[in-house]
């Protein structure tokens, strides 16, 4: 175990310090290619499966399944996800699992409080209907409708110099932008391998459950069979593995006195037909096993139950195919092979689980940091941005390199040649024309001085 955790710690340290913070939007980011190739092959295990990696250290099937389980939420079976992601075992085993006081909701609440302290105007119950793009090819605002979903209200437009889309990237591109401003085609999105969806049960129980812990993993059925039903032959699982959480054991404020707050999670294939009948069938399957394991009836004491799955993810979040965890972290959906956080529209950027660095709460937050840096670095292309000749020259050089490199990479990732080439060429031309306009402006100032 110590040797396994040593290599997992190295991957975590290198990944979090370097690779996870790269936006993967230009080949210029990876000029240290030989170093990257060496580390990928020999130390980061990018070309070795997580299962083969785990089994090279462990023989006991229970230990193997415990160390393979986390990658299920990265969007692949253990034999299809790069062994790089053993870094997650370092995070869970060594760094531990932490619970925010007040539950997960306390995290966005704290972020919102900080944002408001810094002067951010957070507007709720506002549905974005369209991203408005001007004749110069730049986004100029968002058309929104105020009021709760389904309510009748007038649409208004909010002006903007920069737009960052942090919602579902497929929805933003395919529904909020006109076709000519979409970088990716619907065919491209349909080819993406998605991480699992989730079937969630929020349950209130009118008694204590002393035989459960805060975190409980049920591995009493086959991991491989469940993976097949998620990735290879999508179907509602016949004998699903599942996770049970009882946060009221740690935080008594999450349930009334003498009660428990029980949360169940079952990974499902994205895009399944989501019916109440299948939800209830799955609920009874997992509750049969949970009650057998802890030796007592739970369903007879349930005073509140709510299910949440594909329908809610699609309706509430516009989640593509009802997915809960974004794109699968397969080799050809990692780094450059993910959908880019740069749009065809130069001042429109993306952040969140469908772009770099990937799915999950921490990566999505990191994605926001990366996108903020990209927005700053691209400021010279905006009308009122700070412009310098060196920035333009570097931008042009990178754009030329990307016509060849990024076009090829996007094609390997599944985008057709015309769409891939159109973006890289249009990006180069936009920078070129902006540079010409800037040089003319400088020449005009120089002439006035004369």
Q: E-strand spans in 302-419?
A: 302-308, 348-350
Over residues 352-358, mean pLDDT: 88
Q: Quote the distance between the C-alpha of residue 445 and its chain's center.
A: 46
Q: Give Cβ neighbours of residue 423 (< 8 Å, ≥ 6 apart).
A: 183, 344, 406, 410
Please tell me the predicted confidence (pLDDT) of residue 41: 60
If asked whether residues 191 and 212 sit together in one domain, one would say no
Higher pLDDT, 220 or 236: 236
If asked whether residues 110 and 184 sit together in one domain, one would say yes
> Is the predicted pLDDT of residue 152 greater than 80, yes or no?
no
Please tell me the predicted confidence (pLDDT) of residue 11: 87
Please tell me the predicted confidence (pLDDT) of residue 38: 65
Higher pLDDT, 149 or 14: 14
The domain that contains 292 carries what CATH number?
Answer: 3.30.519
The closest of 310, 314, 306, 311 to 201, measured between CA atoms, is: 306
If asked whether residues 396 and 369 sit together in one domain, one would say no
> Is the predicted pLDDT of residue 37 greater than 70, yes or no?
no
Q: What is d(CA 141, CA 152) in angstroms, rounded to the nearest whole number? A: 22
Please tell me the predicted confidence (pLDDT) of residue 421: 92
The domain that contains 147 carries what CATH number?
Answer: 3.50.50.60
> Is the predicted pLDDT of residue 397 greater than 80, yes or no?
yes
Q: What is d(CA 78, CA 192) in angstroms, rounded to the nearest whole number? A: 18
Q: Quote the distance between the C-alpha of residue 193 and its chain's center.
A: 13
If asked whether residues 185 and 250 sit together in one domain, one would say no
Strand pairing category for 163-165 and 197-205? unpaired
If asked whether residues 187 and 213 sit together in one domain, one would say no
Q: Identify the domain boundary among 317, 349, 365.
A: 317
Residue 197: strand, helix, or coil: strand
If asked whether residues 112 and 157 sit together in one domain, one would say yes
Q: Identify the domain boundary among 293, 317, 341.
A: 317
> Is the predicted pLDDT of residue 335 greater than 90, yes or no?
no
Q: What is d(CA 70, CA 398) in angstroms, rounded to the nearest whole number? A: 37
If asked whether residues 142 and 186 sit together in one domain, one would say yes
Number of domains in the chain: 4
If asked whether residues 223 and 125 sit together in one domain, one would say no
If asked whether residues 312 and 203 sit together in one domain, one would say yes
Please tell me the predicted confidence (pLDDT) of residue 140: 94
CB contact at 8 A, 280 and 309: no
**Percent of the chain at pLDDT exceeding 90:** 57
> Is the predicted pLDDT of residue 131 greater than 90, yes or no?
yes
Lowest mean pLDDT of 22-31, 154-163, 165-174, 193-202, name the range. 22-31
If asked whether residues 170 and 222 sit together in one domain, one would say no
The closest of 30, 46, 104, 10 to 364, measured between CA atoms, is: 104
pTM for the model stands at 0.87
> Is the predicted pLDDT of residue 450 greater than 70, yes or no?
no
Please tell me the predicted confidence (pLDDT) of residue 74: 73
Vertex 235 angle, CA 229 and 237, to 5°: 65
Token look-up 């799915």 returns 359
If asked whether residues 312 and 330 sit together in one domain, one would say no
Give the mean pLDDT of the chain. Answer: 89
Q: Give Cβ neighbours of residue 399 (< 8 Å, ≥ 6 apart).
A: 424, 427, 428, 431, 432
pLDDT in tens, 279-332: 999 999 999 999 999 999 999 999 999 999 999 999 999 999 998 888 887 778
Q: Identify the domain boundary among 76, 95, 114.
A: 95
Please tell me the predicted confidence (pLDDT) of residue 446: 59
Q: In the structure, what pLDDT confidence band is assigned to residue 39 with cuts at 50, 70 and 90?
A: low
**Percent of the chain at pLDDT exceeding 70:** 96
Residue range(s) defining the domain that contains residue 221:
197-317
- Plot region of 137 (φ>0 → left; ψ -120 to 50 → alpha; else → beta): left
CB contact at 8 A, 172 and 131: yes
If asked whether residues 114 and 52 sit together in one domain, one would say no
């Amino acid at each position: 175990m110590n040797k396994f955790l040593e290599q997992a710690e190295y991957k975590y340290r290198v990944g979090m310090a370097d690779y996870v913070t790269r936006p993967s939007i230009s080949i210029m980011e990876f000029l240290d290619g030989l170093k990257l190739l060496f580390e990928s092959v020999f130390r980061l295990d990018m070309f070795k499966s997580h299962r083969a990696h785990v089994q090279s250290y462990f023989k006991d099937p229970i230990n193997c399944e415990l160390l393979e389980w986390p990658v299920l939420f990265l969007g692949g079976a253990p034999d299809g996800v790069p062994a790089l992601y053993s870094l997650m075992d370092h995070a869970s085993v060594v760094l531990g699992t932490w619970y925010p006081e007040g539950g997960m909701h306390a995290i966005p609440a704290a972020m919102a409080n900080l944002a408001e302290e810094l002067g951010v105007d957070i507007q709720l119950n506002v549905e974005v209907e369209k991203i408005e793009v001007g004749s110069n090819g730049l986004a100029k605002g968002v058309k929104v409708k105020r009021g709760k979903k389904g309510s009748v209200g007038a649409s208004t437009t909010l002006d903007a110099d920069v737009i960052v889309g942090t919602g579902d990237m497929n929805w933003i591109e395919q529904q909020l932008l006109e076709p000519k401003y979409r970088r990716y085609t619907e065919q491209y999105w349909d080819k993406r391998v998605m991480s699992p969806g989730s079937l969630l049960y929020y349950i209130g129980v009118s008694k204590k459950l002393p035989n459960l812990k805060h975190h409980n993993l049920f591995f009493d059925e086959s991991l491989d069979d469940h993976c097949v039903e998620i990735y290879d032959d999508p179907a509602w699982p016949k004998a699903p593995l599942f996770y049970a959480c009882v946060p009221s054991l740690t935080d008594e404020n999450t349930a009334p006195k003498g009660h428990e707050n029980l949360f169940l999670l079952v990974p499902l294939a994205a895009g399944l037909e989501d019916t109440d009948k299948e939800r209830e069938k799955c609920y009874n399957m997992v509750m049969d096993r949970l009650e057998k394991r802890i030796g007592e009836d739970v369903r007879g004491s349930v005073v509140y139950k709510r299910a949440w799955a594909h329908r809610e993810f699609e309706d509430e979040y516009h989640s593509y195919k009802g997915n809960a965890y974004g794109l699968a972290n397969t080799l050809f959906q990692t780094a450059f092979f993910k959908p880019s956080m740069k749009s065809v529209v130069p001042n429109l950027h993306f952040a969140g689980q469908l772009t770099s660095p990937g799915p999950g709460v921490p990566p999505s937050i990191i994605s926001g940091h990366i996108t903020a840096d990209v927005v700053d670095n691209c400021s010279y292309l905006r009308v009122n941005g700070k412009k310098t000749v060196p920035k333009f020259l570097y931008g042009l050089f990178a754009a030329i390199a990307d016509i060849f490199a990024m076009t090829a990479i996007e094609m390997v990732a599944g985008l057709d040649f015309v769409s891939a080439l159109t973006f890289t060429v249009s990006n180069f031309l936009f920078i070129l024309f902006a540079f010409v306009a800037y040089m003319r402006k400088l020449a005009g100032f120089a002439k006035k001085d004369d």
